[in-house]
Structure 1
């Protein structure tokens, strides 16, 4: 069997050796005679997996003792309303920095719950850049400031993460553990696992313990962060197989140098494709401004819609999957999450060079 060159935006590529290990353990996990999917979430065998995954997140992201790690469900989309429900009381204002579709969706949900403001936005230029940190309207009286660290659709990424006085909250769904992050600067980080950390179904939340002391008693039990913190994310049945896979991926990351190793690997992969775009004489045109380019999602167009279509058709025939751009940007998008191999990126670079030669 030939594995596809998987550039899907999410759910995305998983490490091949992790998939093989999961396959070997599918019918008998650790001598239980059962798949991990069949184990009780209260069993000792599953609890070891659960706690190891939690410890792995803490280790690899250097999470300080001031913060807790939660495994939730509902993806980033459930976090959009859950955050203001827990932390946006009447009479206070939450600040949203808009750099793409997901930050706009987060703001839309927050507006249903409380008062908000927009501290900065790149919408007027179709989100081709990350606004300058020093020009943003951030005030110490803001209840919290929300950012999206990487923008999958537009291919932009925050290369300098802010250290502000108001509590800082970040959606890191598409670049979590792709690089080191100063977790202590954030009151809450959340991320769906399905791009860099595992299959869909698990949402990682890293939350400052003091932050949870602010949660009002009026919030429904299941939608309170402290409910899940108090029960070690076992208040109800967690996505056990997703957490099991997450744990394997964390071990895979650890064995490749951790967050620093992933950053080096991802820089190398992204450089291959950005260099191809930059040296194409305008045949390939990137969507994002150079100083805001994402290492996770490389967005680009060809000179015409007809060439975009031909490129994508030929790429699919050659074994490349997931290169279609989002309708907001059009064209093409190559998502280079942690598990995407250097070999796949080299193959795509060769394909792009050959396509340019034949159609330029």
Structure 2
């Protein structure tokens, strides 16, 4: 155990498994006794070649990813993927998007720079407190893009939207690997690592190989998915340390029992929090019950002054990262894969005590 650890509810960069942190600490100085620290080795050397190959292999194992899909490691986060998806895959057709909050709106705005965009569904009318169910695909749809989990508003898709034969594209940055996933339903999945996979600096992309045939010529070389696929994510120097840490997190997930176990733990943690929120009227959940996220639990108190006091007392009690996004305020508890259930139990006890003192 690492001493003096607080409970980190940050939405990202977020908590990492302690076992992984300890392993990384040791290998920062001397990776497997090879005489080099993890940050010092060449990305084309034997050691890192094994690391990136093992990381991909573990991801493929966890998700049963077939050879019909390529796994690549990019940079620039999900924000860069907003551009890359449209640049690579619109192909003169119409990009269809489901608008469920800030990040999907950013993806829509970026796609409009490169072609036609159709908003196939939106929950903006109810302040993004729910997940829309009626999808209206346009004619000549290039793809249907959705954000699986919305960190700011605390909503989450419980199942994939129905797109028929239209390729489904998912920004899974904040809930990737929180439960089993049927990759065969998707054309492309991307996820920034810094919430559920590892540190910031690397983005995982899983792309169906037949979609590579759509990519137009003469794209900027680092904005072309083929550059990463053909170069095995090594065309230029990749973020070696973040890729290594992601690999260790994937091994940790596998050792814990895989994605079935992750889903069980995550649902249990979220259920404990939502039960505490719903127990009375002192706390009020912001997401509609059928659309609630198991990753980011958002709620409000009666006033902003009371919320400020809650955050002040919570920090003093050893809870970090509970302040809601600056655009909406409130309280947000992010309980990703690595977040311990003990932290949820401790927060619930704090919530009860705070209500008793201030209700």
Deviation at 1:329, TM superposition (A): 2.4
Q: Which residue of 2 aligns with 1:4?
A: 6
Q: Which residue of 2 aligns with 1:26?
A: 28
Matched, 1:40 2:39: no
Matched, 1:259 2:263: no
Deviation at 1:63, TM superposition (A): 1.2
Q: Which residue of 2 aligns with 1:99?
A: 100
CA–CA separation in structure 1 for the residues paired with 2:50 and 2:350: 45
Q: Which residue of 2 aligns with 1:146?
A: 145
Deviations 1:256-282 (A, max 9, x none): 111111100101110110000011x21
Deviation at 1:328, TM superposition (A): 2.9
CA–CA separation in structure 2 for the residues paired with 1:35 and 1:195: 25
Q: Which residue of 2 aligns with 1:50?
A: 52
Matched, 1:335 2:334: yes
Deviation at 1:24, TM superposition (A): 1.5
Q: Is the 1:68–1:206 Cα contact (8 Å) retained in structure 2? A: yes
Number of equivalences: 356
CA–CA separation in structure 2 for the residues paired with 1:336 and 1:212: 35
Q: Which residue of 2 aligns with 1:127?
A: 128
Q: Is the 2:118–2:138 Cα contact (8 Å) retained in structure 1? A: no
Q: Which residue of 1 aligns with 2:115?
A: 114
Q: Which residue of 1 aligns with 2:84?
A: 82
Q: Is the 1:140–1:166 Cα contact (8 Å) retained in structure 2? A: no
CA–CA separation in structure 2 for the residues paired with 1:174 and 1:127: 17
Q: Is the 1:11–1:194 Cα contact (8 Å) retained in structure 2? A: yes
SS at match of 2:39: helix
In structure 1, stretches of 5+ residues that fail to align are: none
Deviation at 1:214, TM superposition (A): 0.9
Q: Is the 2:9–2:320 Cα contact (8 Å) retained in structure 1? A: yes
Deviation at 1:139, TM superposition (A): 4.1
SS at match of 2:206: strand
Q: Is the 2:91–2:214 Cα contact (8 Å) retained in structure 1? A: no
Q: Which residue of 1 aligns with 2:205?
A: 205
**Range that drifts further, 315-324 or 160-169:** 160-169
CA–CA separation in structure 1 for the residues paired with 2:116 and 2:138: 15
CA–CA separation in structure 1 for the residues paired with 2:261 and 2:235: 34
Q: Which residue of 1 aligns with 2:289?
A: 290
Q: Is the 1:74–1:201 Cα contact (8 Å) retained in structure 2? A: yes
CA–CA separation in structure 2 for the residues paired with 1:19 and 1:235: 29
Task: Please provide the CA RMSD for this pair.
Answer: 0.9
Q: Which residue of 1 aligns with 2:358?
A: 359
Matched, 1:234 2:231: no
Q: Which residue of 2 aligns with 1:196?
A: 196
Deviations 1:45-74 (A, max 9, x none): 111011000111111112122111000000
CA–CA separation in structure 1 for the residues paired with 2:255 and 2:65: 19
Matched, 1:268 2:268: yes
SS at match of 1:144: strand
**Ranges of 4+ aligned residues in structure 1 off by more than 6 Å:** none
Matched, 1:59 2:61: yes
CA–CA separation in structure 2 for the residues paired with 1:140 and 1:18: 47
Q: Which residue of 2 aligns with 1:173?
A: 173
SS at match of 2:120: strand
CA–CA separation in structure 2 for the residues paired with 1:160 and 1:223: 30
CA–CA separation in structure 2 for the residues paired with 1:235 and 1:207: 17
Q: Is the 1:50–1:244 Cα contact (8 Å) retained in structure 2? A: yes
Q: Is the 1:163–1:185 Cα contact (8 Å) retained in structure 2? A: no
SS at match of 2:24: helix
CA–CA separation in structure 1 for the residues paired with 2:69 and 2:281: 46
Deviations 1:79-130 (A, max 9, x none): 001111111123x211110001000000000011111010011112110000
CA–CA separation in structure 1 for the residues paired with 2:139 and 2:242: 38
CA–CA separation in structure 1 for the residues paired with 2:171 and 2:53: 23
Q: Is the 1:139–1:166 Cα contact (8 Å) retained in structure 2? A: no
Q: Is the 2:98–2:145 Cα contact (8 Å) retained in structure 1? A: yes
